């Protein structure tokens, strides 16, 4: 057999767990025993165990070994989105805008981390930026950076995407002030007011805000926690409406956390070709896969239909305000829009990020971050199962930052938002993720932050507040 030894071991043990031969709580053979009995290296066994841990099959307990995890994944996912797939202008209310502003940090208890330690990756990043600033000489501060962004950073990003199968060179990228600006430039470049834009429902509220301010009609297409945008629904809607662009987050979409299957990705691109629309890919969560980083949709794009947008906001730092866009045939237009929109991004911050990536700091940070997030996801899931006073269905994504919860129909999460705020809790009600009157009994909860005692108590208290209706 040509498989790597760690893959053989992973497959054998995964099957034993999935077929129920090893039950929840059962202890797996120790690393030392496996090395001795199967003549394997410690690295091989640990690699297999780490991968199974990232998939949520097993858990490591300090000083006790590896154990089969309770099968959280076997739960039924929340229901898929059920919007009216009819184009309409959206109007985001002031209340929603306030909630969006409050919830952008994804933290249920913003007061919980006043004394938290800076993560090692961020310390390293800050050093790179400080070094880049120290190296700024003479009158460099008097000049703007290239409007498309610092070449060294574009080079680093292009190389990362090339490794994922995307035919992108440095000149195909433009550095932006985050992914939100990249999405804005993408929509500006390929749409005009009144055009129809298909989006996931439930889907990212930032896109609804952009559509509102650009006068675009939003066509909500159902999305499900286990498979993302529903391709049959999109194909059906395309028969009736002239869609100009489709904004999609194939990897770990917010709020549902869905990962779009391969077949759906190919079908989306075929539909784009057939109906002549642009696919705007939001790849902001791609680097936060707990297991293998999925290639972007862009990797399948052979006819220049996909505009790729991303940023390091979720994977590294929201405060850098650095993202990018690769717009293919629309790149010249995007470059022009970026220039009139903001001239340039800060050069020393781009330089610092580029050095950080080049020195391997970003990959080291991602390795730590992914395992932390997988653990935080499980802790949140266990908390919901154990401490909430009513049963709740939720997604269990293999990456990203959020769970999508479906609560009993009687619960109104928007109503609860205000009560939660009185207790210092910030939640993201389901109503935020649509331009229609839907998902009132749904909620996005984030596991982006460590579960210290105050946050654990906040989730428990939230369960009590929601139980009040």
Q: Which residues bind ligand PLP (CB under 6 A)?
A: 104, 178-180, 204, 206, 249, 254, 282, 284, 311, 313, 318, 323
Q: For ligand PLP, which is the closer residue by CB, 13 or 106? A: 106
CB 212 within 8 A of CB 92: yes
Residue 206 or 250 having the CB closest to ligand PLP:
206
- Least Å distance between CB 446 and ligand PLP? 10
Nearer to ligand PLP, 85 or 180 (CB): 180
Min dist CB 457 to ligand PLP, Å, is 25
Least spacing, CB of residue 329 vs ligand PLP, in Å: 22
Please, which residue, 438 or 444, has the CB nearer to ligand PLP?
Answer: 444
Structure tokens given for 36:
């001795």
What's the CA gap between 306 and 295, in Å, rounded? 13
- At closest approach, how far in Å is the CB of 179 from ligand PLP? 4
The nearer residue to ligand PLP, 149 or 323, going by C-beta atoms, is 323
User: For the residues of 334-370, what is the DSSP string, one character each?
Assistant: HHHHHHHHHS---HHHHHHHHHHHHTTHHHHHHHHHH
Q: Which residue's CB comes closest to ligand PLP?
A: 178
Which CA distances in Å does 148 have to 320, 334, 335? 17, 9, 6
Q: What is the DSSP letter of 20?
A: T
The three-class DSSP label of residue 434 is coil
User: N- to C-terminal Cα distance for the chain?
Assistant: 57
Give the DSSP H/E element, type plus range, for residue 413: helix 413-422
Q: Compute the least distance from the CB of residue 162 to ligand PLP, in Å.
A: 22
Taking the least distance from each CB to ligand PLP, the nearer of 149 and 178 is 178
Please report how close the Cβ of residue 360 comes to ligand PLP at its closest, in angstroms. Answer: 23
Q: With the C-alpha atoms ordered 60, 64, 67, 71, is the resulting torsion angle positive or negative? A: negative
Contact 189, 216 (CB under 8 A): no
**Distance of closest approach, residue 419 Cβ to ligand PLP, in angstroms:** 24
Residues 6+ apart with CB under 8 A from 232: none
CB of 178 to ligand PLP, least distance (A): 3
Shortest spacing between CB 177 and ligand PLP, in angstroms: 7
| Residue 250 or 323 having the CB closest to ligand PLP | 323
Cβ atoms of 405 and 445 closer than 8 Å: yes
Tokens of 327: 């717009």
Percentage helix, strand, coil for the chain under 3-state DSSP, each rounded to 5: 45, 15, 40
Bond preceding residue 202 cis, omega within 30 of 0:
yes
Least distance from ligand PLP to the Cβ atom of residue 310, Å? 8
Characterize the bridge pairing of strands 196-201 and 228-229: unpaired
Sign of CA pseudo-dihedral 389, 390, 395, 396: positive
């Amino acid at each position: 057999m040509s498989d790597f030894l760690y893959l053989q071991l992973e497959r054998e043990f995964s099957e034993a767990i999935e077929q129920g031969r090893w039950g929840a709580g059962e202890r797996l053979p120790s690393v030392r025993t496996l090395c001795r009995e199967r003549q394997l290296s410690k690295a091989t066994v640990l690699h297999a165990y780490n991968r199974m841990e990232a998939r949520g099959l097993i858990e490591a307990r300090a000083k006790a070994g590896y154990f089969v995890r309770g099968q959280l994944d076997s739960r039924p996912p929340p229901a898929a989105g059920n919007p009216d797939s009819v184009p309409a202008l959206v109007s985001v209310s002031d209340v929603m805008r306030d909630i969006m502003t409050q919830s952008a940090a994804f933290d249920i208890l913003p007061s919980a981390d006043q004394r938290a330690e800076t993560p090692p990756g961020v310390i390293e990043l800050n050093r790179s930026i400080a070094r880049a600033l120290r190296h700024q000489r003479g009158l460099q501060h008097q000049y703007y950076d290239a409007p498309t962004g610092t070449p060294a950073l574009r080079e680093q990003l292009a190389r990362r995407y090339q490794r994922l199968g995307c035919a992108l060179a440095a000149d195909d990228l433009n550095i932006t002030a985050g992914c939100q600006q990249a999405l804005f430039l993408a929509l500006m470049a390929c749409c005009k007011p009144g055009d129809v834009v298909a989006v996931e429902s439930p889907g990212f509220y930032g896109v609804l805000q952009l559509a509102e301010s650009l006068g675009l009609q939003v066509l909500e297409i159902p999305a499900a926690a286990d498979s993302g945008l529903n391709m049959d629904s999109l194909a059906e809607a395309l028969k009736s409406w002239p869609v100009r662009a489709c904004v999609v987050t194939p990897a770990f979409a917010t709020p549902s956390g869905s990962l779009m299957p391969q077949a759906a990705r190919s079908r989306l691109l075929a539909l784009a070709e057939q109906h002549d629309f642009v696919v705007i890919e939001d790849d902001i969560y791609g680097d936060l896969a707990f297991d293998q980083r999925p290639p972007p949709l862009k990797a399948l794009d052979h006819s220049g239909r996909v505009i790729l947008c991303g940023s390091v906001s979720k994977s590294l730092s929201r405060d850098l305000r650095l993202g990018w866009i690769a717009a293919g045939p629309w790149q010249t237009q995007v470059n022009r829009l970026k220039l009139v929109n903001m001239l340039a991004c800060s050069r020393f911050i781009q330089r610092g990020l580029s050095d950080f990536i080049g020195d391997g700091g970003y990959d080291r940070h991602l390795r730590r971050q992914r395992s932390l997030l997988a653990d935080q996801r499980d802790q949140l899931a266990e908390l919901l199962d154990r401490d909430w006073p009513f049963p709740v269905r939720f997604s269990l994504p293999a990456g990203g930052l959020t769970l999508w919860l479906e609560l009993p129909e009687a619960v109104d999460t928007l109503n609860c938002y205000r009560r939660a705020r009185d207790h210092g809790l910030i939640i993201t009600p389901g109503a935020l993720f649509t331009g229609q009157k839907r998902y009132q009994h749904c909620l996005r909860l984030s596991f982006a932050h460590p579960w210290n005692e105050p946050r654990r108590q906040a989730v428990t208290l939230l369960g009590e507040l929601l139980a009040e209706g």
